[in-house]
Amino acid sequence: MNKVISDKVINRLTLYHSILIDYIDKNIEYISSPQIADLLHIDNTQVRKDIALLNYKGKCKVGYRVKELKLLIEDTLRFKTVKKAFIVGAGNLGMALAKYDNFEAYGFKISALFDNDIKKINSTINDKKIFSIDKLPELVIELDAKIAILTVPRTFSQQVTNFLVQSGIKYIWNFTPCVLNVPNDVQVWNENLIGNFLQFTVNHTNE
């Protein structure tokens, strides 16, 4: 499928995928767009538009075959294509991400962690080795990894980013509370944890 899919649609498709896994575990063969919409509290029309992008049609008054739709989402979002990544910053957040085993189900393989704390270097977390940050350039080449998950303190974020770019990293998943300055050929995805938290608390909770 060569069609460009927006970030918002990709996000919704991953949520649909999670629902489909749950239905498979429950041995439920079909699911309808209203059922998906109700579970996610979104409009049914939006669900149908998203699935229409996959060129897949369900059965009238029955819905979509759960296993077929799941496999189609996986194929469209390239879950089977392995994407190697490094975690840069083996602090609490970096360690937590390293322990998360579900990444590989989506084709996302964390190959190693990097830090400058000599107490952490050469130790392992979830079978992933922590290397000195100085080793990153050679391992980018050796392991052919182009993605870095950045979890360093804010004060070092741009400095480390510059080093990542010089080392050949082309994609940065940024967990730091800092807007990064990168060349045009490097892509950054900002994971705004505080912004997401405030969106929820401001719009959905009372004082």
pLDDT in tens, 121-170: 999 999 999 999 999 999 999 999 999 999 999 999 999 999 999 999 99
> Which pTM does this prediction carry?
0.83
Token reading at 45: 């029309």
Is the pLDDT reported for residue 36 higher than 70? yes
pLDDT tens per residue, range 54-105: 999 888 888 999 999 999 999 999 998 999 999 999 999 999 999 998 898 8
Beta strands in the chain (DSSP E): 30-31, 64-65, 83-88, 108-115, 124-125, 128-132, 147-150, 171-174, 187-190
Per-position DSSP letters for 120-147, written without gaps between them: TTT-EETTEEEEEGGGHHHHHHHHT--E
User: What are the structure tokens assigned to 39, written together?
Assistant: 């579970």
Q: Which pLDDT score, from 0 to 100, does residue 119 have?
A: 95
Predicted pLDDT at 1: 45
Residue 195: is its pLDDT beyond 90? no
Q: Which sequence spans correspond to the domains of the chain?
A: 7-76, 83-195
In the CATH hierarchy, which fold is given to the domain comprising 7-76? Answer: Arc Repressor Mutant, subunit A (1.10.10)
Query: CATH topology of 7-76 equal to that of 83-195?
Result: no
Kindly report the average pLDDT of the chain as a whole number: 91
Q: Which residue has the higher pLDDT, 101 or 47?
A: 47
Of 24-38, 68-82, 162-176, 188-202, minimum mean pLDDT range:
188-202
Superfamily classification of domain 83-195: NAD(P)-binding Rossmann-like Domain (3.40.50.720)
Mapped onto helix, strand or coil, the DSSP state of residue 85 is strand
Average pLDDT over residues 13-24: 96
User: Residue 187: which residues within 8 A CB-CB, separation 6 or more?
Assistant: 170, 171, 172
The pLDDT > 90 percentage for the chain reads 80
